[in-house]
A and B are shown apart, each in its own frame.
Chain A
Amino acid sequence: MRTLYIVIVLLTFVSCEKEIDVDLPRPEEKLVVEGVIETGAFPYVVLSKSSPYFDPTDIESVANSYVSNATITISDGTTTNTMTKLCSGGLTQPQRVQLSGVLGIPVGVLTSYNICGFTDLTMTGEVGKTYTISIDWEGEIYESSTTIEQPVPLDSTWFKVFGDRDSLGFIYAYLNEPGATQNYYRWYAKRINSYKYGSLKGQTKDNQFNPPSSSVFDDEFVNGTSFEFGYNRPGGSEKADDQAPERGFFKVGDTVVVKFCSIDKGVHDFVDKAEEQILSTGSPFAAPINVVSNISNGALGLWAGYSPYFDTVVCTK
């Protein structure tokens, strides 16, 4: 569909554009949940509010969109705890940078404003458990559950140069898909080697695990089979290697940690639709779709349990 969009734009050589004011009724403000629990790690939840689409997004409005006046409880089926509030004002600057990478909140916001999240330092994610959160905010209760599924290991992972490229290529994996269960997966990658040249010399290439633009899949078409699949390198930053010709490629010399997570259906469906929306928003030739959240009571966002399997690939020719 995107290609057709390009086609149309090209065809309309005599077209003209103008910016217009869109007068829509002010939408209802909704609670947005972003919460993660991963095997062996503390859970965290960050709350924010949705804002009118055409309102400007400056630092202040981003900061004001975060919600800290909520109470959240988390349960693993046997124990129920009230989550602790942790705020960015109490963090060191390197911690803020790290957090910014994970949550996508601008470092400036974390530095200048006291942004709060919620965690439980007495509980870490365990495989096979279902975690339920209950958020009490301004008199309303929002609930969600997610399961840390059994991890599924990759049989092998490797790097292969693409086409007749000299040193650029993709990461591939071989998966023996378990046939007995219905599985959903999400793929991430992180380069842990440092830049050798240029202005970023000495810095680690990636600070966190990044998902590519279509990072989830399910076993509908591949249940119980063994197959090979590959991914390009995520990244849309302003760094030099995120521009052509290196954009999207791993490179000979990179050391890449692959994080291959088992997820549940709710997480898969949210990420799948969110990724589709990111690709199609604004295209007049795509149908408008809302992303289905796994939170009750009309809240947006996702409470996600991840069950990762890690593997390391050294990219050689």
Chain B
Amino acid sequence: MKNFLLYIFMFFFSVAGFNQKSTLSGSIKDAESGETLIGATAYVEELKIGVSANIYGFYSLTVPSGNYTVKYSFVGYSDVVKKIDLTESKKQNIELTSSDVIIKEFKVEEEQGDNNTKSTEMGTVDLEVEQIKNLPAFMGEVDILKTIQLLPGVQSAGEGNTGFYVRGGGPDQNLILLDEAVVYNAAHLFGFFSVFNADAIKNVNIIKGGMPANYGGRLSSVLDISMKEGNNKSFHGDGGIGIIASRLTLEGPIQKNKSSFIVSGRRTYISELAQPFIKDDAPVKGSGYYFYDFNAKLNYQISDKDRLFLSGYFGKDVFTYRQAESDFTINIPWGNATGALRWNHIFSDKLFLNTTAIYSSYDFTFEGRQDDFSFGLYSGVRDWNFKTDFSYYPNPNNTIKFGLNYTYHTFIPNNVTATQGDTEFDFGGAVRLYANEGALYFLDEVKISELLSINAGLRISSFQHIGPFTRYVKDNEGNTIEEVEYKKNKSLRTYVRPEPRLTGRYTLDENSSLKFGATLNYQYMHLVSVGGNSLPTDLWIPSTDIVKPQRATQFNLGYFRNFKKNMFETSVEVYYKDLRNLVEFKDGADPSDGVNDNIDNQLTFGKGYSYGAELFIKKSLGKLSGWIGYTWSRTMRQFDELNNGEEYPAKFDRRHDLSITAAYDLTDRWTFGAIFVYATGNSITLPASKYFVEGELLVEYAPRNSYRMAAYHRADISATYSGKKYKEYKDVETGEVKKVKKKFISSWNFSVFNLYNRKNPYFIYFDNTGNLSNGTLDVAAIQVSLFPVLPSVTWNFSF
């Protein structure tokens, strides 16, 4: 620690010692819409050094004073090259034009960046939403999370499961950020759709290994999603009409070039469409399901140095079930809400500040009613978060980031209410858990030599479980031996943990590099699931005086190589991850039992590890683009109180996981896409033997997760037919034929999901037929699969 502080001190000292330097800074934006371009680069040709814009499009480069040629570039955009006189510091805002707009006559030589081999980041993938839109989409709904799951090292647990799994980590170990606000449950309809409406999204970045110090609070990955800011030059819209949902996005300037807005909504209507076909006297008339999403964002450029953003997301799934005959109704709404107010301030051409205040919540409610009996269940989590992040660009060899983060959490793990007429049943009342979470971090991306760059950082995180709280202390038999009351804001337990992070790159030659990473992460909240499948009913539980923070230590090493002038990007990465203080429910736990008990008394703690190798080949240029990702991995868990203390495979332990995606631009009008996935089956626990007591059939289970369901594989295809993007007209004066972009563009997307109708297993249940008393009892294992071959068509438009 001492050495680290000394380093920081020495560092600023040395920076102060230099003079005769000038700084070039500014923002890089899209010329048409005014959207900032995240990750666009400014490159000084003479010095062969460059810098990339941060997520607000801000860049800063400090070099010895002089005259330079600076090249600004971004994937899919044509370069802008500027001669810049840098005898003194200068501000230079740049607008890049999409290469799509510059029509054939100019035919810019497309060039793929060599970011793959040149950045220090590893286990990181950036996806442009436009890239995703050419791939087949389930029911025509373009889905970012689904695409993320096609990357090596990122797994889905199959249809009907919420969440995704990164390098052997659980679904709670992914930090999902939408404009910096934490999204606790990113799935609609049990994971068939994600909550992210692609029309409102600008950029998606996933970090699956080597998490830099500016991120924390989760062990396995960061999925950082940036919403579009809204076109600040002219009014536009995007939308789509599909077979199950429709979308509409509107954006435009409020004050031209100064402020803009974007609003985006999506709603499903499958159950409304089905209603007319359900007979009025059908027993379940009135049952249905829908979800909706609403995204909105405003941004205002107050001055050259200040910019404000206000963004929000609100989404809900609502399931209703009615059974008229027995007067039985169920309502199950669940969903997320987030809001973020951000202020960007440029202190100087070298120092950039982003300060954010965030609200984030997730709620799950279950309401059932029959006659005068009603039953309710509520769980949720609510955060108030304040963070401030500085980016400091002292010289081209160092990019420094530091900041702090504070969150006030309220957890409602499970709140059961039941009434019958006037009688209220006691389930222990609403139990809430409160906590403070804080973090400080500092990191430096430093170029040590021409060949070696590192990103070294330290994050110090802390978590405090605070009152009001009643702790029920239990003995080994589960009897309460003590009750301890804690007053409001009284600390039950405080954890302070250092999290050192290091990643680096060593350049081998022009086209290849070695990357390495070693990181230590802590996580203070835990998602526990009662059943075998992850569902919206899973509970978020904080670290408390008895639940220690989860810890992950990860090591990774990768070899990156680009071929044919960066036409092909390839990489091989290996990783080892050690996980401690993982949380599961004890066998036979009942989370609704809150009477004289705390939910964390029902938890048990264990450890795990995962190792694997990931292969990635990507082609981004040319008519045919796509990637192949393959992962070989092994993920195990060990809990003293589960499975007799023996090690067992995690549910999502996958030996093989293969994804192939391809998009082919046949003509300007026709684009084809295809996806193929193959994954080793999920492991589940099945009954091994049966016995009878009091005439009832009881079972003994085989060791935990000892059975493998059949492998999951599937192919999807799509074809997109786009309307003409340009219209031609003849210039009356010169007689020249010119092309002008059309105001209204539309396209048809035809997708076929599960092309060869593979019956992939969702779950297995047991069907008992006959009965014991006449000796005809028979048990059959029935495998349930969700989706057969499903064609869909969507009409998309933009203006």
Closest to B532 in A: A284
Chain B positions within 8 Å of A211 at CB level: 694
| Bound complex: CA A17 to CA B788 (Å) | 11
Q: Across the interface, do B691 and A301 meet the contact criterion of CB distance under 8 Å?
A: yes
| Bound complex: CA A29 to CA B426 (Å) | 43
Chain A positions within 8 Å of B783 at CB level: 17-20
Which residues of B, 764-799, contact A by the 8 Å Cβ criterion?
764-767, 772-788, 790
Q: Across the interface, do A289 and B694 meet the contact criterion of CB distance under 8 Å?
A: no
| Bound complex: CA A283 to CA B426 (Å) | 27
Q: Across the interface, do B595 and A221 meet the contact criterion of CB distance under 8 Å?
A: yes
| Bound complex: CA A149 to CA B778 (Å) | 39
| Bound complex: CA A206 to CA B699 (Å) | 28
Q: Across the interface, do B531 and A32 meet the contact criterion of CB distance under 8 Å?
A: no
Q: Across the interface, do B702 and A27 meet the contact criterion of CB distance under 8 Å?
A: yes
Q: Across the interface, do B284 and A10 meet the contact criterion of CB distance under 8 Å?
A: yes
| Bound complex: CA A18 to CA B780 (Å) | 10
Q: Is A40 an interface residue (CB 8 A)?
A: no
| Bound complex: CA A19 to CA B774 (Å) | 24
Tell me which of A69-77, A171-179, A270-278 binds B: A270-278
Q: Is B689 an interface residue (CB 8 A)?
A: yes
Chain B positions within 8 Å of A50 at CB level: 689-691, 700
Closest to A293 in B: B693
Closest to B786 in A: A15
Q: Is B585 an interface residue (CB 8 A)?
A: yes
Q: Is A14 an interface residue (CB 8 A)?
A: yes
Q: Is B533 an interface residue (CB 8 A)?
A: yes
Instruction: Please pick, from A24, A58, A278, A290, the residue contacting B707 in the complex, using a CB distance under 8 A.
Output: A24
Q: By CB atoms of chain B within 10 A, which of A25, A34, A53, A104 has the most?
A: A53
Tell me which of B2-10, B680-688, B719-727 binds A: B680-688
| Bound complex: CA A283 to CA B693 (Å) | 21
Q: Is A48 an interface residue (CB 8 A)?
A: yes
Q: Across the interface, do B699 and A281 meet the contact criterion of CB distance under 8 Å?
A: yes
Q: Is A207 an interface residue (CB 8 A)?
A: no
Closest to A101 in B: B695
Contact with A along B566-595 (1 / 0, CB 8 A): 000000000000000000010111000001
Q: Is B69 an interface residue (CB 8 A)?
A: no
Which residues of A, 26-69, contact B by the 8 Å Cβ criterion?
27-30, 32, 34, 48-54, 56-60, 62
| Bound complex: CA A52 to CA B690 (Å) | 6
Q: Across the interface, do A277 and B321 meet the contact criterion of CB distance under 8 Å?
A: no
Q: Across the interface, do A11 and B189 meet the contact criterion of CB distance under 8 Å?
A: yes
Given known A-B contacts A1-B530, A109-B775, A53 and B690 have beta carbons under 8 A apart: yes
| Bound complex: CA A301 to CA B692 (Å) | 8
Q: Is B698 an interface residue (CB 8 A)?
A: yes
Closest to B427 in A: A221
Closest to A281 in B: B699
Q: Across the interface, do B588 and A276 meet the contact criterion of CB distance under 8 Å?
A: yes
Q: Across the interface, do B790 and A14 meet the contact criterion of CB distance under 8 Å?
A: yes
Q: Across the interface, do B699 and A53 meet the contact criterion of CB distance under 8 Å?
A: yes
Chain B positions within 8 Å of A106 at CB level: 772-775
Q: Across the interface, do B691 and A274 meet the contact criterion of CB distance under 8 Å?
A: no
Q: Across the interface, do B774 and A30 meet the contact criterion of CB distance under 8 Å?
A: no
Q: Within the complex, what minimum Cβ distance (angstroms) separates A235 from chain B?
A: 13
Q: Within the complex, what minimum Cβ distance (angstroms) separates A274 from chain B?
A: 6
Given known A-B contacts A24-B702, A290-B700, A182 and B479 have beta carbons under 8 A apart: yes
Closest to B478 in A: A220
Q: Across the interface, do B321 and A7 meet the contact criterion of CB distance under 8 Å?
A: yes
| Bound complex: CA A182 to CA B481 (Å) | 13
Q: Is A291 an interface residue (CB 8 A)?
A: yes
Q: Across the interface, do A274 and B696 meet the contact criterion of CB distance under 8 Å?
A: yes
Q: Across the interface, do B700 and A30 meet the contact criterion of CB distance under 8 Å?
A: yes
Instruction: Please pick, from B533, B588, B781, B784, the residue contacting A22 in the complex, using a CB distance under 8 A.
Output: B781
Contact with A along B749-769 (1 / 0, CB 8 A): 000000000010011111100
| Bound complex: CA A31 to CA B778 (Å) | 21
Q: Across the interface, do B781 and A285 meet the contact criterion of CB distance under 8 Å?
A: no
Q: Across the interface, do A163 and B689 meet the contact criterion of CB distance under 8 Å?
A: no
Contact with B along A101-114 (1 / 0, CB 8 A): 00111111100000
Contact with A along B698-734 (1 / 0, CB 8 A): 1111101011001000000000000000000000000
Q: Across the interface, do B762 and A24 meet the contact criterion of CB distance under 8 Å?
A: no
Q: Is A79 an interface residue (CB 8 A)?
A: no
| Bound complex: CA A273 to CA B586 (Å) | 13
Chain A positions within 8 Å of B777 at CB level: 56-57
Q: Across the interface, do A108 and B587 meet the contact criterion of CB distance under 8 Å?
A: no
Which residues of A, 292-315, contact B by the 8 Å Cβ criterion?
300-302
Q: Is B537 an interface residue (CB 8 A)?
A: yes
Instruction: Please give the number of chain B residues whose Cβ is less than 8 angstroms from any Cβ of chain A in the complex.
Output: 77
Q: Across the interface, do A52 and B689 meet the contact criterion of CB distance under 8 Å?
A: yes
Chain B positions within 8 Å of A100 at CB level: 773
Q: Across the interface, do A274 and B321 meet the contact criterion of CB distance under 8 Å?
A: no
Given known A-B contacts A15-B786, A19-B782, A163 and B372 have beta carbons under 8 A apart: yes
Chain B positions within 8 Å of A105 at CB level: 695
Which residues of A, 234-283, contact B by the 8 Å Cβ criterion?
265, 273-274, 276-278, 281-283
Chain A positions within 8 Å of B87 at CB level: none
Q: Is B371 an interface residue (CB 8 A)?
A: yes
Instruction: Please pick, from B287, B319, B692, the residue contacting A32 in the complex, using a CB distance under 8 A.
Output: B692
Q: Across the interface, do B788 and A14 meet the contact criterion of CB distance under 8 Å?
A: yes
Chain B positions within 8 Å of A18 at CB level: 759, 782-783, 785
Which residues of A, 78-111, contact B by the 8 Å Cβ criterion?
100, 103-109
| Bound complex: CA A140 to CA B706 (Å) | 28
Q: By CB atoms of chain B within 10 A, which of A29, A51, A282 has the most?
A: A282
Chain A positions within 8 Å of B531 at CB level: 1, 283-287
Q: Is A4 an interface residue (CB 8 A)?
A: yes
Chain A positions within 8 Å of B330 at CB level: 3, 7
Chain A positions within 8 Å of B535 at CB level: 4, 285
Q: By CB atoms of chain A within 10 A, which of B532, B690, B784, B785 has the most?
A: B690
Q: Is A202 an interface residue (CB 8 A)?
A: no
Given known A-B contacts A7-B321, A7-B330, A10-B287, A19 and B781 have beta carbons under 8 A apart: yes
Given known A-B contacts A30-B700, A107-B773, A182-B479, A284 and B687 have beta carbons under 8 A apart: no
| Bound complex: CA A52 to CA B707 (Å) | 15
Q: Across the interface, do B691 and A51 meet the contact criterion of CB distance under 8 Å?
A: yes
Q: Across the interface, do A282 and B765 meet the contact criterion of CB distance under 8 Å?
A: yes
Q: Within the complex, what minimum Cβ distance (angstroms) separates A230 from chain B?
A: 11
Instruction: Please pick, from A32, A285, A290, the residue contacting B533 in the complex, using a CB distance under 8 A.
Output: A285
Q: Is A128 an interface residue (CB 8 A)?
A: no
Q: Is A21 an interface residue (CB 8 A)?
A: yes
Closest to B375 in A: A3
| Bound complex: CA A11 to CA B318 (Å) | 12
Q: Within the complex, what minimum Cβ distance (angstroms) separates B685 from chain A?
A: 4
Q: Is A8 an interface residue (CB 8 A)?
A: yes
Closest to A56 in B: B778
Chain A positions within 8 Å of B688 at CB level: 24, 27, 52-53
Q: Across the interface, do A30 and B691 meet the contact criterion of CB distance under 8 Å?
A: yes
Q: Within the complex, what minimum Cβ distance (angstroms) separates A236 from chain B?
A: 10
Q: Is A12 an interface residue (CB 8 A)?
A: yes
Q: Is A180 an interface residue (CB 8 A)?
A: no
Closest to A54 in B: B779
Q: Across the interface, do A287 and B587 meet the contact criterion of CB distance under 8 Å?
A: yes
Contact with A along B288-326 (1 / 0, CB 8 A): 010000000000000000000000000000010100000
Chain B positions within 8 Å of A62 at CB level: 692, 772, 775
User: Given known contacts A20-B764, A104-B692, what 13 new A-B pairs fall within 8 Å (CB)?
Assistant: A12-B784, A16-B759, A17-B783, A53-B699, A57-B772, A103-B694, A108-B775, A221-B426, A278-B696, A281-B766, A288-B686, A289-B587, A300-B698
Interface set of B (CB-CB < 8 Å, partner A): 160, 189-190, 284, 287, 289, 319, 321, 330, 332, 366, 368, 371-372, 426, 477, 479-480, 530-533, 535, 537, 585, 587-589, 595-596, 685-702, 704, 706-707, 710, 759, 762-767, 772-788, 790
User: Can you list 15 residue pairs at the A/B interface with Cβ under 8 Å?
Assistant: A1-B531, A12-B786, A27-B702, A48-B691, A50-B690, A62-B692, A104-B695, A106-B775, A282-B767, A288-B687, A289-B701, A290-B700, A291-B698, A300-B693, A301-B691
Nearest first, the 3 A-B pairs at minimum CB distance are: A104-B695, A59-B775, A284-B763
